[in-house]
Structure 1
Amino acid sequence: MAGIYLHIPFCKQACYYCDFHFSTSLKNKEEMLAAIKKELVFRKKEFEHEKINTIYVGGGTPSLLTAKELESIFSVIYKNYKVVTDAEITLEANPDDLSEKKIKDLAKLPVNRLSIGIQSFFNDDLKFMNRAHTAEESKKSLEIAIRYFDNITIDLIYGVPNMSSKKWLENLKLAFKFGISHISSYALTVEEKTALHSFIQKGKVPPLDENLALEHFKILVSETEKNEFVHYEISNFGKQNYFSKHNTSYWLGEKYMGIGPSAHSFNGSERSWNVSNNAKYVKALTEDKLPNEIEKLSVNNLFNEYIMTGLRTIWGVSYQKVEKDFGKNYLQHLKKNTQPFIKRGLLELAANNTLITTKKGKFLVDGIASDLFKINL
């Protein structure tokens, strides 16, 4: 099985914290969509022996596209790829785009999963992040969406300055009240070349408080568990049968094709990425060229990625898989370097010799994983 990711590089406005590739100008939208469809056709041989299990339309803000524009993209995919009948097809959307008519139109498409970028149910937080929607639009969009879609996930951000724990808890309670079956929740982070980074550098915004983020994370873990969500990946919480199949395929090392500017692909041994420039992307496809770079992954690369993704999930890191895929030297390296973390209660060895992250270790998992990487053979 394999997945397709489509990057739609347009947004109404720039969120202060975001470092994804996008443009706030829609003047070249038609040329971009034509190039995306051309890349899909151009690369179909890469997946001629694969069945497509998931399609994820992200960005950017894909909900800026009309239903007709989205339909034309899906038509190209279904014509050129073998999409399974029960494929998970996700569309990212912002609340301000989700009128009842838009949601009805989306429900007529192959889309069967909506990912709605709520981020917060409070206007002051949304203003701080420079989101395009209001708290009222968030609630209204969910009220309508749950009538047309069974599978809905929302994004929420914690660790926001001036967001009290009480306020964060209220965000979660509102999500539970709507009956949402999946939540993706991330700590606010400062990425270089973002407005937020500039504001902090200039002293307009205080540095982010890691202790506040940790406190919010603990509340998140506790409250989702009380409401029968499974914490199946560090930032993802889903009820049974509502885990993201597409994102899970990333974490389990399955193949995926990234279409659109800045999109990444993985075929099991190589990683490739498209140019993060709309004009260059369109020009290359117009000239029948693929605007990408390819990296052949070393054994070290593949091992390190397995450690990073495995420890972030409930499926953990299998000693048996490490020995089978990478050899005894890698297994010995892993066993030796995990001992300090096991003693500190941050990692534990579960059934079938699978290494998993404990509740205590979850907030620190990226640092733990990097300490287990194999740098030199």
Structure 2
Amino acid sequence: MPMTGNYRRRFSNFFGFVITALAIAWAISSFALQEKISPLSDYQYKRDYARYEEIKKETDPQKRADLLLAFVKERPISKILMYVASDYVECLKSYMEKKDWAKVTAMQEAFWAAIPDEKTVQEAGIPVGTEEFIKDQLRPTQKLILTALTAAYYQANNFAKAAEAAEKGYQITQDKSMLPALADIYLKIPDTDKYLAIGQKILSESSIEQSYSMALQMAQVYIQKQDLKSAADLLGKVMDVYGDKVPPNVQESAWNATRAFAYGVMASAVYASKDYAKALELYQKVVKFDPKREDAYYFIGMCKWQNKDQQGAVEAFARSVVLNKTYAERARKYMEDLYKALHNGSLDGLDEVLAKAKSELGIS
């Protein structure tokens, strides 16, 4: 029986409805399938977490570590990556307590090798959640493992590998808090050039109040490298802030020794430039904080001599003499020469000068 126009229209409408319904169903099905296979979907997160909960039931640390590593190898892109990494590091504690650093580093290296890098994640074609995964899971995990690896190599005295791990960590995270540890590693190697480069970066990005201890240590390295000017410049910055006060949580007696050292280096640099007035001012600060620094009294004498204060020079040399250390012999010669020049070639009365120096310094 031929279709009437009305029936034909009804059939066409029904057929169109079926096609539309099928298309919607296919889209929903495709979306659901896509959602299921995405490693960052809620569906996969629940599956991963359930599996992680099963792994946590394993009480043997080595076996649990093996299971966690196997999980990461199979599921490197997972919303629970940081949980797994933290648990894995916890499993290494027994080996750390035994100081089995070879085992610790081998296990940490194995886990590091299983973690994807950012490029791999970005090229995985994951529909949504990639940036959040990198920010919230991948980078914190990388930092955790590399920090642990750095510490283990450091404890094993393998400073070259510790530096390698720390450098990777800093390059990935750009976390400035990692720089002091990296500087310390280069000091241990020792690679003083890299140490100083990192130290300068730390100083450039923080105040002296925050980094004065780094500046002091760097100054000592500059002294070892015979770069007195750079050492004096750094110490000058520290003394600009803490010359007249003590840093928090530092004993005053200890800081007095530091101030005497700092002003001594600064004075030496200025003395070398023949600025005797400024050098005298700095050497006087040295003996303010360390009243028995015989080298400082010697150079106070030299500065006063250069500034035509011969009597003051004699008194300063006398203090160096009675302290009887490295500069005593030279100080005695200059003291006697100057004293004679002031007293018509006679040394009469010099004993009184020396006795006065002893009394002022509390020397019996």
TM-score (norm 2): 0.24
* Richer in strand (by share): 1
Select the structure that is richer in helix. Answer: 2
Higher relative contact order (CA 8 A, sep 6+): 1
Q: Which has the larger radius of gyration?
A: 2
TM-score, structure 1 normalization: 0.24
